[in-house]
C-alpha cells in the first residue's frame, strides 16, 4: 500500500478508548522488590505469552523527543520492554483483513512500572523517547537479515502529527 492511498489521515488519529488492535498485548509485569532493588521476568518459555527467540536487541535514545518510526514486519513478531526512562509507542494496524484495520493505539511505558508490549506482524509501529536516556529492549521471532530486510518503513509523520501526549 503506498503513501497516496491514505486519503484521510484523520482516520488514524483515534483516541485510545477504542479496542486495542487485534493481536497486540499490553501487560504489566510483576516486579519482585526487596532492600537491594527489584527483579522482573521479561519472558519465560513456559508462559502463554512466550514468542520464539530470533534476536534480542537494545535501543538507547540519548535525549527526549527522539522518534524512531514507522516500520512493520511481514514475517516476524516483536515484544518491547522499556528498561530505562519513558517511551511512547504508536501502533497502526495495516492488515486489511483485520477487524481493527486502520486503528491506531498509543501506549506510554515507564521503566519504573515494568510492562511488555507484544506487536504482531503487519502492525506499523514506532517509538518516541519522553526522557533523556530512555531505552527499549526488544525480542523478535527472527533475526534481522540486512540483505533481505523483513520490513516496510514509513516516515514518522506518515499518519499525521500524532507524537507526544498533547493529542491524547
Q: Is the pLDDT of residue 132 over 50?
A: yes
Which residues make Cβ contacts (< 8 Å) with residue 77, sequence separation at least 6?
51, 118, 119, 120, 121, 140, 141
pTM summary value: 0.85
Alpha helices in 21-126 (DSSP H): none
Q: Is the pLDDT of residue 15 over 80?
A: no
Structural domains of the chain ordered from first start: 22-29+49-145 (2.60.120.10)
Q: How confident is the model at residue 19 (pLDDT cuts 50, 70, 90)?
A: low
Q: Is the pLDDT of residue 27 over 70?
A: yes
Give yes or no for a contact between 162 and 104, defined as CB atoms under 8 angstroms apart. yes
How far is Cα 119 from Cα 110, in angstroms, rounded to an integer? 17
- Arithmetic mean of pLDDT over the chain: 87
Average pLDDT on 31-57 reads 89
User: Which among 33, 59, 35 is positioned nearest to 144, based on CA atoms?
Assistant: 59
Average pLDDT on 96-110 reads 94
What integer pLDDT is reported at residue 53 of this predicted model?
Answer: 87
Rg (alpha carbons) of the chain, rounded to whole number: 16
Detail the DSSP E strand segments found in the chain. 25-28, 31-34, 37-40, 55-60, 67-72, 78-84, 86-93, 104-110, 115-119, 123-129, 135-140, 152-153
Q: How far is CA 135 from the centre of its chain?
A: 13
Handedness of CA 22, 5, 151, 90 (dihedral sign): negative
What integer pLDDT is reported at residue 166 of this predicted model?
Answer: 62
What integer pLDDT is reported at residue 3 of this predicted model?
Answer: 31
Q: How confident is the model at residue 10 (pLDDT cuts 50, 70, 90)?
A: very low
Q: What is the DSSP letter of 73?
A: -
Amino acid at each position: 500500500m503506498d503513501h497516496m492511498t491514505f486519503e484521510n489521515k484523520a482516520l488514524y488519529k483515534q483516541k485510545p478508548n477504542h479496542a486495542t488492535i487485534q493481536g497486540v498485548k499490553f501487560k504489566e509485569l510483576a516486579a519482585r522488590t526487596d532492600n537491594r532493588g527489584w527483579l522482573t521476568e521479561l519472558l519465560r518459555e513456559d508462559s502463554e505469552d512466550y514468542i520464539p527467540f530470533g534476536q534480542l536487541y537494545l535501543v538507547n535514545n540519548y535525549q527526549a523527543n527522539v522518534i524512531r518510526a514507522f516500520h512493520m514486519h511481514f514475517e516476524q513478531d516483536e515484544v518491547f520492554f522499556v528498561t530505562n526512562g519513558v517511551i511512547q509507542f504508536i501502533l497502526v494496524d495495516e492488515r486489511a483483513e483485520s477487524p481493527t484495520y486502520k486503528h491506531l493505539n498509543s501506549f506510554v511505558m515507564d521503566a519504573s512500572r515494568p510492562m511488555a508490549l507484544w506487536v504482531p506482524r503487519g502492525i506499523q509501529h514506532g517509538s518516541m523517547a519522553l526522557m533523556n536516556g530512555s531505552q527499549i529492549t526488544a525480542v523478535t521471532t527472527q533475526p534481522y537479515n540486512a540483505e533481505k530486510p523483513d520490513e516496510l518503513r514509513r516516515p514518522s509523520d506518515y499518519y499525521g502529527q500524532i507524537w507526544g501526549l498533547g493529542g491524547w
